[in-house]
Amino acid sequence: MALIVHKYGGTSMGSPERIRNVAKRVAKWARAGHQMVVVPSAMSGETNRLLGLAKELAPSRAMQSYHRELDMLAATGEQASSALLAIALQAEGMEAVSYAGWQVPIRTDSSYTKARIESIDDQRVRSDLAAGKVVIVTGFQGIDGEGNITTLGRGGSDTSAVAVAAAMKADECLIYTDVDGVYTTDPRVVPEARRLQTVSFEEMLEMASLGSKVLQIRSVEFAGKYKVPMRVLSSFTPWDIDINEEAKSGTLITFEEDEKMEQAVVSGIAFNRDEAKISVLGVPDKPGIAYKILGAVADANIEVDVIIQNVSKDGKTDFSFTVNRNDYTRTVELLKEKVLPELGAQEVAGDTKICKVSIVGIGMRSHVGVASKMFRTLSEEGINIQMISTSEIKTSVVIDEKYMELAVRTLHKAFELDQPAA
Ligand code: ADP
Ligand code: ASP
Ligand code: MG
């Protein structure tokens, strides 16, 4: 008997029929003798619908000031699907109980809409499991020190599941989704993408942080920190497939790198359309510019990603960086009001129609020329690179959004990701 955590994403919970299928699958695992904790997402589209209603009532650039209420609102999506799953399980003849985040409780900090889990009390869940119940822990939500409901950021149910698995020292955390594993890139953009049997934790962390939304980055961080055995697999296989076959399907996140070091140099391509570029033009080139610009941005709690400073001409330089598109207007306003006058810079320019495309692979550490192959491939397609950022195991470029699919497809081919692994 093992303690297993299942997580089901929005599409997997998308209709009563699908919830019934989830219930049948969970019941199969429970009847095979496992203790089951299940973490569901809201039904697909529900979180967007709820947040859309809020946008009808308040200007979207002021959304920041309604964060507490947005969390109250968005958390209802998961609460509904958790109750529905408990009902479906009971209708299947299983004993099941659902808990909202505050009932567990899952304690978080107070950063509404992107709260971090601080601790999980597993007493209640454990005693239900001991009594033979399936326990449903509502995903995406928690409670802060003052009793406010918080949410964990978009895609946050992944993190709820892995955090519950870590807190309970579960034997495995299975993330059921609408694709049958982690692919070399998003299979919806590149149909030739290949499913990876295993992916190293470091590569998965990099892919998630670079925009591959198959797993929320914090879930991968939790898995790494607590060494949670974790697998991504499909919820669309027939619910009654052989449980041993199911347990081996999908993609396993591994914590050993050695075996992979000899394999593909690039193991995946990620892309992100959520960023916008901001340039401060004509800045006098003297010490402290980066601090003045980025310090003001950081003080406003805005995260910055790729940064470049151009060579100076006639004592002036241009300074560019990317932020999340949701923070674009706020950042431009802040720079115009506070930073431009102080710096004596000429202008703030921006571009929201950009995207970031990244190649990822731990094999890049030991191979030279990987980045230059990426640049050559893009130049052969006539795609202009606006910004570059590199680390040991990734190279990212910022390009015009309209070339995103072309870039991802061409790079996927150039790095032979469509070919079976050696
Ligand atoms: P869920 O609702 O189950 O959490 P998500 O939509 O959050 O599902 O994540 C699954 C989606 O992630 C897939 O449908 C796929 O389009 C996308 N995706 C992006 N990159 C990858 C990748 N490298 N491998 C697999 N899926 C990916
Ligand atoms: N329902 C939330 C979202 O859409 C959380 C999740 O699905 O993981 O972002
Ligand atoms: Mg998700």
What digits encode the pLDDT tens for the residues 365-386? 888 899 999 999 999 999 999 9
Q: Measured in angstroms, how far is the CA atom of residue 1 from the centroid of ligand 2?
A: 30
Q: How far apart are CA 166 and CA 410, in angstroms?
A: 39
Q: Measured in angstroms, how far is the CA atom of residue 279 from the centroid of ligand 1?
A: 32
The β-bridge partners of 183 are 195
What is the per-residue pLDDT across 30-44, written as a single tens digit (0 to 9) for each? Answer: 999 999 999 999 999
What is the per-residue pLDDT across 90-141, written as a single tens digit (0 to 9) for each? Answer: 999 999 999 999 999 999 999 999 999 999 999 999 999 999 999 999 999 9
Q: How far apart are CA 309 and CA 121, in angstroms?
A: 47
The reply to whether 183 sits in an annotated binding site is yes
The reply to whether 8 sits in an annotated binding site is yes
Strand, coil or helix: what is 369?
A: coil
The region of weakest confidence among 212-221, 275-284, 337-346 is 337-346
Spatial CA neighbour of 171 closest among 33, 41, 40? 33
Strand, coil or helix: what is 211?
A: coil
Instruction: Say if ligand 2 is within 6 A of residue 41 CB.
Output: yes
Domain boundaries, the chain: 3-179+214-228, 263-422
Spatial CA neighbour of 35 closest among 134, 167, 131, 174? 134
pLDDT at 12: 98
Asked if residue 258 has pLDDT above 60, the reply is no
pLDDT at 202: 93
Q: In what order do the strands lie in the sheet with 347-351?
A: 304-309, 316-324, 275-284, 347-351
Q: Measured in angstroms, how far is the CA atom of residue 295 from the centroid of ligand 3?
A: 32
Q: Measured in angstroms, how far is the CA atom of residue 336 from the centroid of ligand 2?
A: 34
Instruction: Say if ligand 2 is within 6 A of residue 363 CB.
Output: no
Looking at ligand 1, which atom is closest to the CA of residue 11?
Answer: 2
Q: How far apart are CA 149 and CA 100, in angstroms?
A: 10
Superfamily of domain 3-179+214-228: Acetylglutamate kinase-like (3.40.1160.10)
Spatial CA neighbour of 124 closest among 109, 112, 135, 114? 135
CB proximity list for 111: less than 8 A, separation 6 or greater:
150
The reply to whether 292 sits in an annotated binding site is no
Asked if residue 422 has pLDDT above 80, the reply is no
Q: Is 187 exposed, middle or buried (0-12, 13-18, 19+ CB in 10 A)?
A: middle
Mean pLDDT, range 187-199, rounded to an integer: 96
Q: Measured in angstroms, how far is the CA atom of residue 395 from the centroid of ligand 1?
A: 21
Over pLDDT 70: what percentage of the chain? 98
Q: Please say whether the beta carbons of 289 and 309 come within 8 A.
A: yes
The reply to whether 28 sits in an annotated binding site is no
Q: Is 294 exposed, middle or buried (0-12, 13-18, 19+ CB in 10 A)?
A: middle
Mean pLDDT, range 236-265, rounded to an integer: 85
The C-alpha torsion from 14 through 20 and 26 to 28, rounded to 10°, is -140
Instruction: Say if ligand 2 is within 6 A of residue 42 CB.
Output: yes
pLDDT tier at 259, thresholds 50, 70, 90: low
Q: Please say whether the beta carbons of 214 and 189 come within 8 A.
A: no
Whose tokens are 């699907």? That residue is 81
Predicted TM-score of the model (pTM): 0.93
Q: How far apart are CA 233 and CA 254, in angstroms?
A: 15
Which residue has the CA at smallest separation from atom 17 of ligand 1?
A: 214
Which residue has the CA at smallest separation from atom 21 of ligand 1?
A: 186
Q: Which of 60-64, 73-77, 295-299 has the highest mean pLDDT?
A: 73-77
Which residue has the CA at smallest separation from atom 6 of ligand 2?
A: 155
pLDDT at 124: 97
Structure tokens belonging to residue 303: 């995260």
Asked if residue 261 has pLDDT above 50, the reply is no
Q: How far apart are CA 135 and CA 98, in angstroms?
A: 6
pLDDT at 110: 96
Mutate which of 175, 177, 267 for ligand 1? The one with the most ligand atoms within 8 Å of its CB, which is 177
Is cis: bond before 420, omega within 30 of 0? no
Longest dimension (CA), the chain: 78
Which residue has the CA at smallest separation from atom 27 of ligand 1?
A: 186
The reply to whether 268 sits in an annotated binding site is no
Asked if residue 260 has pLDDT above 60, the reply is no
Asked if residue 82 has pLDDT above 60, the reply is yes
Mean pLDDT of the chain: 94
Q: Measured in angstroms, how far is the CA atom of residue 213 from the centroid of ligand 3?
A: 6
Structure tokens belonging to residue 163: 């955090």
pLDDT tier at 360, thresholds 50, 70, 90: very high
The reply to whether 7 sits in an annotated binding site is yes
pLDDT at 365: 84
pLDDT at 203: 94
Structure tokens belonging to residue 185: 């890139």
Residues touching ligand 1 (Cβ under 6 Å) are 9-12, 41, 155, 177-179, 182-183, 185-188, 212-214, 268
pLDDT tier at 188, thresholds 50, 70, 90: very high
Mutate which of 140, 178, 214 for ligand 2? The one with the most ligand atoms within 8 Å of its CB, which is 140
Q: Which CATH class is domain 263-422?
A: alpha beta
Mutate which of 8, 47, 70, 76 for ligand 2? The one with the most ligand atoms within 8 Å of its CB, which is 47
Which residue has the CA at smallest separation from atom 10 of ligand 1?
A: 214
